[in-house]
């Protein structure tokens, strides 16, 4: 529940900032109305960037791959001892 409160506080702060920009003449009205669109686009770009970086730096774990193969072999042996055919082609 605390996480949603943080998100709502952030949305309220951004909305207050945006309304403040609309009320004052710091930024022209034509640009101020586009700020939410720019915010959504920049958050989308940031999300795609983080996904791309995460994929590029995805760790390879050869030790875990060996352990997984051992677990699969143990599972096959267990099923064979119970009389289940687990032959893989």
Residue 35's nearest CA partner among 50, 17, 8, 10 is 17
Flag residues of the chain having pLDDT under 70: 1, 29, 88-89
Residue count of the chain, please give it.
89
| Global pTM value | 0.48
Residue 49 confidence (pLDDT): 93
pLDDT in tens, 53-74: 988 887 788 888 899 999 999 9
Phi, psi of 61 (to 5 degrees): -125, 85
């Amino acid at each position: 529940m605390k996480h949603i409160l943080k998100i709502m506080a952030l949305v309220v702060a951004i909305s207050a900032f945006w309304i403040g920009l609309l009320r004052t003449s710091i930024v022209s009205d034509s640009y101020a109305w586009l700020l939410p669109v720019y915010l959504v686009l920049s958050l989308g770009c940031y999300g795609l960037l983080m996904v791309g970086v995460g994929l590029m730096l995805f760790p390879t774990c050869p030790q875990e791959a060996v352990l997984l193969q051992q677990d699969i072999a143990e599972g096959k042996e267990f099923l064979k001892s119970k009389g289940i055919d687990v032959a893989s082609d």
